[in-house]
Structure 1
Amino acid sequence: MKPADEIPGIDRLKIGFILARSFTLSAFALFVDTLRLASDESDKSGRVRADWQVLASTRNLVTSSCGVQVAPTSDFVDPSQFNYIVVVGGLLNCEYPVDIPTIGYLKNAAAKRVPLIGICTGTFILAEAGLMKHHRTCVSWLHFQAFRQRFPDHEVRADRLFNLDRSRGSCAGGSSAADMAASIVRRHISRDAERNALEVLQIEKARSAIDIQPRRPPFIDCQDPRLKAALIIMENHVENTISIAKVAGLIGLSRRQLERLFRDKTALSPANAYKRVRLERAKQLLMQTRAPMIEIAIEVGFENASHFARLFHKTFGQPPSKYRSAGSS
Structure 2
Amino acid sequence: MPCFTQSLDVLVTANLITPGSVQVHTFSHTHAEVMSDLSIPIRPDTPLTDIRLANLDLLVICGGLRSPRAVPAWLSSLLGRLAKLPMALGGLWNGAWYLGKAGLLDGYRCTIHPEQRTALCEQAPGTQVSFDTVVFDGDRLTAATPAGAFRMMLKWLETCAGRTLANAVAEVLDYDRTRLRGTHASHLHGPLREAILLMESNLEDPLDLDQLAHYAGLSRRQMERLFRHKLSTSPQKHYLHLRMIEARRLIQNSNLSIVEAALACGFVSSSHFSRTYHALFGHPPSRELRHDL
- Residues 195 and 204 (structure 1 numbering): CA distance in 2 closer, same or farther, change over 3 Å? farther
Contact persistence 1:85–1:115 (CA under 8 A): yes
Q: Percent identity?
A: 20
Are 2:137 and 1:126 aligned? Answer: no
Q: Distance in 1 between matches of 2:55 and 2:93?
A: 24
SS in 1 for 2:103: coil
Cα drift, residue 194 of structure 1:
1.4
Q: How far apart are 1:34 and its partner, in Å? A: 0.4
1:116 paired residue among 70, 89, 92: 89
Query: Please, what TM-score do these two structures have when normalized by structure 1?
Result: 0.50
Residue number in structure 2 paired with 1:38: 14
Asked if 1:176 is matched to 2:152, the reply is: no
Instruction: Give the equivalent residue in structure 1 for 2:231.
Output: none
Q: Does 1:100 align with 2:73?
A: yes
Q: Matches of 1:170 and 1:193 in 2, distance apart? A: 22
Q: Structure 2: where are the runs of 5+ without partners?
A: 188-293
2:126, 2:76 → 1: CA distance? 20
Relative to structure 2, which stretch is displaced further, 108-117 or 197-206? 197-206
TM-score by length of 2: 0.55
Give ranges in structure 1 of 5+ residues lacking alignment: 1-24, 212-222, 225-329
2:64 aligns with 90
Query: How far 1:176 moved relative to its partner?
Result: 1.2
The C-alpha deviation readout for 1:224-257, integer Å capped at 9, x for no partner, is 9xxxxxxxxxxxxxxxxxxxxxxxxxxxxxxxxx
Task: Note the alpha carbon deviations across 1:186-224, whole angstroms, 9 max, x for none.
Answer: 111122211222222234447xxxx9xxxxxxxxxxx99
Distance 1:117 1:93, change over 3 A: closer
Distance 1:47 1:71, change over 3 A: farther
Counterpart of 2:246 in structure 1 is: none
8 Å contact 1:39–1:193 — kept in the other structure? no
CA separation of 1:31/1:149 partners in 2, compared to 1, >3 Å: closer, same or farther?
Answer: same
Match of 1:166 in 2: 138
Classify 1:112/1:181 alpha carbon distance in 2 versus 1 (closer, same or farther; 3 Å): same
Taking a change above 3 Å as real, the CA distance of residues 92 and 129 of structure 1, as seen in their structure-2 partners, is: farther
Contact 1:36 1:47 (8 Å CA) reproduced: no
